[in-house]
Each structure stands twice: as structure tokens, then as C-alpha cells.
Amino acid sequence: MASTGWHTASVRVAVVGHVEWVEFARVDRFPGPGDIVHSTEWWEEPAGSGAVGAVQLHKLAGGCTFFTALGKDATGKQAHLELEALGPSVKAARRGSPTRRAVTLIEPNGELAERLVEAIRKHRAATWHWQRVMGKPRWTATYAERRTSDLGRLTAIRDRWTRRATRLRRRAQRPPHRSAWLCIHRHEGRWKDPHAPYYGGLQMSRQFQRAFGRYLLHLKGTANTWTPAEQMWTAERAHRAGLGFHPWPNTARACGLL
């Protein structure tokens, strides 16, 4: 198969989500019921998962349109102005109700806790991704794990998910019939072959991808955008389903598999 050059195309991105106007206060400890604490630093700004995602996508893609809803109050107008100052183009529907507000208290260890929680989410997502690709049951996150703010426990949880993700990532690189798939790949095409009707290094049709790689097809698009390991594990799922190497009759025969 003749190789073709790659070219990049401009990508337009958009986010649909909510905005909160958040007042942040840095405190020496988190208050208990009926307790009073004094802040050493205070500021406010627009926040919310949609707003944060739009700003980050703007930085990555060089532009982003953010669709949201804001109140007609002064807070809504201020949130609109400050978000656009950060880069995204904001398309906001105006509602009669006030813009949602929130208060966030930050303890001395709060920033460290946030970094630990982010690392836990990252490694947990990687673990779950490979479990789904490999067709394995998903390890669950306990309620206590999701709710704790203790730095010691968060560190232990981060380390546990890091080990799980690392172990699964290594196992994913060696599917049971790896040598067979690599032989078929040498006869079929490049791992990033984008040409229809067959995609990737194992030349999978869309029908095949929907049947055995629906998760990856939905997540990333056609097989040419998947890693070699992801493509081979999709082929493993077909093999487990009883198809063996028959979807590749000529190349499998050339590899001595049929």
C-alpha cells in the first residue's frame, strides 16, 4: 500500500456547560458546624466545569465557542466579560433567575489535595480505559475514596491507582496473540491508514469496529486513530467471539494461522 503524507486541518471546538460565580477564600482550617474562620486571602471569578473546559480548549485549539446560560443580573454580565477576556467566544442565553453563585474555602493543604485528586482521576481513568479495551471487569472506586480529604489517604489512593494503571498499561502491550496480529499487520497496512473502507494496521471495516470496538470508535473515531495495542485488543475480542483469524483469510493464511 502506497504511503501518503499527513496534513493537519483546522478544528473548530465548542463546549456546552454551566457557569458559577465563585468566591474563593483562603483559610487556616476548614470550619466545623457553627464555627467562624477568618480568610487571609479572598477573590472571585467565573468557574464551573463548562467554563474551565472552554478556557482550556481555547488554549489548546486556539479558539473555542462556549454555549451557556447566565442570569440577567450584574454577576452574569461580569461573568460573560471575564470569560471572554480569557479567550473563548461566549454565547449565553439570558435567564430571569440570578446567576448561580458558590463559595470555595481553600485550606493550607488544599492545593496539594487538589493535585492528588486530579492524579487519582487521571490514573483511575487510564485503568478503566484499558480494562474496557481488554474486556476486563472494572475496578470500582469506593464511596469513602471519593469523599476523603485526608492527605495521607489521598496519597495512598493515588499510589494504588497509579500502580493499577501502570500494570494494566504494560499488560495491554502484550495481547495473547500479539505475534499473530503483528504478522497480519505487516501484510495489511499502516497502523494509521485512514482510507475507507478498511482502517488501521489490521484493516478493520466500520462494521467490524462497531461490533468489537464500539467504545473506541465512539471515543476516538475510526481505527486509524487508535494505538496499535487498542487495535490488537479489538481483534482479540473478535477472536474470543469465535471468529478466530477468519476476518483476515489471505493474510492469516500467509502467516500460517489458517
**Sign of the alpha-carbon dihedral angle for 237, 239, 243, 247:** positive
Examine residue 74 and state whether it is found in any structural domain, yes or no.
yes
Residues of the chain with pLDDT > 70: what percent? 93
> 215-242 pLDDT, tens per residue?
999 999 999 999 999 999 999 999 999 9
Domain that holds residue 160: 110-172
Question: Does the pLDDT of residue 170 top 90, yes or no?
Answer: yes
Q: d(Cα 193, Cα 187) in Å, to the nearest integer?
A: 13
Question: Can you state the percent helix, strand and coil of the chain, rounding each to 5?
Answer: 50, 15, 35
Q: Which of 83, 101, 103 is nearest to 92 (CA)?
A: 83
Task: Count CB neighbours of 130 within 10 A.
Answer: 20
> 76-90 pLDDT, tens per residue?
999 999 999 888 999
Examine residue 217 and state whether it is found in any structural domain, yes or no.
yes
Residue at grid coordinates 495512598: 156
Both 250 and 191 in a single domain? Answer: yes
Examine residue 48 and state whether it is found in any structural domain, yes or no.
yes
| Grid coordinates given for 4 | 501518503
Q: How confident is the model at residue 1 (pLDDT cuts 50, 70, 90)?
A: very low
Task: Count CB neighbours of 51 within 10 A.
Answer: 26
> 82-136 pLDDT, tens per residue?
999 888 999 999 988 899 888 877 777 666 677 788 899 999 999 999 999 999 9
> 130-143 pLDDT, tens per residue?
999 999 999 988 87
Q: What is the mean pLDDT of the chain?
A: 88
| Grid coordinates given for 18 | 454551566
Both 248 and 196 in a single domain? Answer: yes
Half-sphere exposure in the Cβ direction for 98 (13 Å, CA): 6
State the total domains in the chain: 3
Q: d(Cα 167, Cα 81) in Å, to the nearest integer?
A: 46
One-letter identity of residue 151: L
Q: d(Cα 167, Cα 162) in Å, to the nearest integer?
A: 9
Both 74 and 137 in a single domain? Answer: no
Question: Does the pLDDT of residue 13 top 50, yes or no?
Answer: yes
Q: d(Cα 155, Cα 173) in Å, to the nearest integer?
A: 27
Q: d(Cα 15, Cα 156) in Å, to the nearest integer?
A: 34
> 32-56 pLDDT, tens per residue?
677 788 888 888 899 888 899 999 9
CATH number assigned to the domain comprising residue 18:
3.40.1190.30
Question: Does the pLDDT of residue 249 top 70, yes or no?
Answer: yes
Q: d(Cα 169, Cα 126) in Å, to the nearest integer?
A: 8
Query: What is the DSSP code string of 120-178?
Result: HHHHHHHHHHHHHHHT-PPPPPPHHHHH---HHHHHHHHHHHHHHHHHHHHHHTS-TTH
